[in-house]
Structure 1
């Protein structure tokens, strides 16, 4: 196990942050996130990426800098689903996306090649695969990003990607729990709602996530969607009922749980409220994907609740232990 000071509130808080930044080098902004905010992870987008050589230098420099600051190695994440959502463009291999994967061999080829290319540049986490199920009679917001077919087929294709990535050292993150395939609005801009009973979700949307759990997926990302039949007050990413009671307790998931990007428009609550809900729900990792005040607000709120609330401090220790165990397994 990585040596870690659980008495250091900044270090405990920082490990739970996965942050975006501006620039393509280990610049002063990124150094500040690592050295001062003690960030446990960073997430990359197209503006951070110019070429393979530049990206490799950025990732390696950032990871070395974290180690030089006495921190565990960084999670370096990217959304590389293929098709519509692919942050890495040529010369990286371009895949047409999940809807165009017709066979398990297609899924395995995607995972094998993607894992090799991510590993080569120092990225260790892929925010994939999408495990949502989109019925053909629904104009799903996810129709261009999901595996075609029913829950069983999504399970088969998704677990092939999970195993293919993780067997080659790349952490996979299944998304978007508990399933957004039947939603028609985009949580980047509004707060969608899915009025589905738990019994229905168990027969459809939750089936691929159950398969992902059985495949030992490293991470599961929560959606920003409201499921009023499950929790009438909070969207999944802020819901103890969904993130803890359903995912952790009922489905037995022991891996990393993370929010979707808290900068998205589906989140209208202030950051202090969001962080309190996240910590209460035992969610491990907070994603804030864009430079700006939300990063500082999120970090300050985590620090505050770790200091003031004994129960959140103790559950926070468990979260950090899960994070460090994942880093030990995949980052060495």
Structure 2
């Protein structure tokens, strides 16, 4: 059993940074705190050669193999565009019933990400688009039919994994039937649990059957699933439903905790701690080094103050290492 010491605390976090080179403070953080992962955005990318060197430096500074993540979904969401293959949206593939096309797109994308040293594509979006006013998902979804979305999601995940890049099914428990964007405010989905089981969960179940190793949750209030907590803070959703009912054993990551849905309504550090207690393995915070450093210290103090049972904390850290060990072929 891994001891509950702070050498491993950084494994709980996936952080982003500013600029096209690693800032000095972020380098020190990577080396000293041993982050679980790093997320890249367009602001970090200039050329393919620079990106490859950046990924190599991230890995060389890390004591344990880090998850190097990017959102390269196709359509409107692409962090790399210059001299890199860019493909149509998921919705276009779904509408055209183009299964060969989606397999080629995700396989080719993964192949090129792998060459750069990126080992996680935060894709595919497996949300079922049932609300025509939904702007946050829109063309990122394969469509409004759960069976079709499940089928295309399976193809995408298999294609990504075939090139030894990790796929990530998102955004659990489902963000397809909302009319607000969590980047700015908290969405609400008033559907019943039966409705979720019929519409939103099938693509996630198919993803789990396909061997997906990473699932991202969403910031959304779903009173039909938990009448008290938003999904990010909900053990009912993150643990009871996703783990126990859907039998998912892989890693669970939050969406960016710096989104308006969180920071407009909650203290950031407290919110991240609640997300951890709810069952998330990885806490994603995409920017602001001062906030990231504050978050690390807050978690450290919370463990010291025994706000979590020490044995439970050790098990949570051990799970991350165990999962990463099983993913060695993707992370090498």
Match of 2:76 in 1: 84
**Shift, 1:232, TM fit:** 2.1
- Aligned equivalents of 1:118 and 1:20: distance in 2? 18
**Shift, 1:326, TM fit:** 4.7
Contact 1:279 1:312 in 2 (8 A): no
Aligned Cα RMSD in Å?
Answer: 1.7
Contact 1:158 1:208 in 2 (8 A): yes
Match of 1:140 in 2: 134
- Aligned equivalents of 2:247 and 2:226: distance in 1? 19
Structure 1 residue 72 corresponds to structure 2 residue 64: yes
- Aligned equivalents of 2:33 and 2:79: distance in 1? 25
Match of 2:47 in 1: 51
Relative distance call for 1:281 and 1:236 in structure 2 (3 A) is: same
Contact 1:17 1:41 in 2 (8 A): yes
Structure 1 residue 93 corresponds to structure 2 residue 85: yes
Q: Which runs of 5+ in 2 are unaligned?
A: none
Contact 1:124 1:169 in 2 (8 A): yes
Contact 1:10 1:38 in 2 (8 A): no
Alignment of 1:1-332 (within 5 A): 6-7=2-3, 9-66=5-62, 71-101=63-93, 102=96, 103-135=98-130, 138-141=132-135, 142-267=137-262, 268-307=265-304, 308=306, 309-310=308-309, 312-332=312-332
- Aligned equivalents of 1:85 and 1:57: distance in 2? 23
- Aligned equivalents of 1:294 and 1:12: distance in 2? 19
Q: Number of residue pairs matched?
A: 323
Contact 1:12 1:316 in 2 (8 A): no
DSSP-derived class of the 1:77 partner: strand
Give the TM-score normalised by structure 2.
Answer: 0.92
**Shift, 1:322, TM fit:** 4.3
Contact 2:9 2:317 in 1 (8 A): no
Q: Deviations over 1:183-237 (max 9, x none)?
A: 1110000001000111110000111000000001010000001101211222112
- Aligned equivalents of 1:33 and 1:154: distance in 2? 39
Q: Which runs of 5+ in 1 are unaligned?
A: none
Relative distance call for 1:319 and 1:266 in structure 2 (3 A) is: farther
Q: Deviations over 1:83-128 (max 9, x none)?
A: 1111011211111211111311011011111011100100000000
Contact 2:276 2:283 in 1 (8 A): no
Contact 2:11 2:317 in 1 (8 A): no
Using the TM superposition, name which of 283-292 and 303-312 deviates more: 303-312
Relative distance call for 1:325 and 1:306 in structure 2 (3 A) is: farther
Relative distance call for 1:257 and 1:326 in structure 2 (3 A) is: farther
Segments of 4+ in structure 1 off by > 6 A?
none
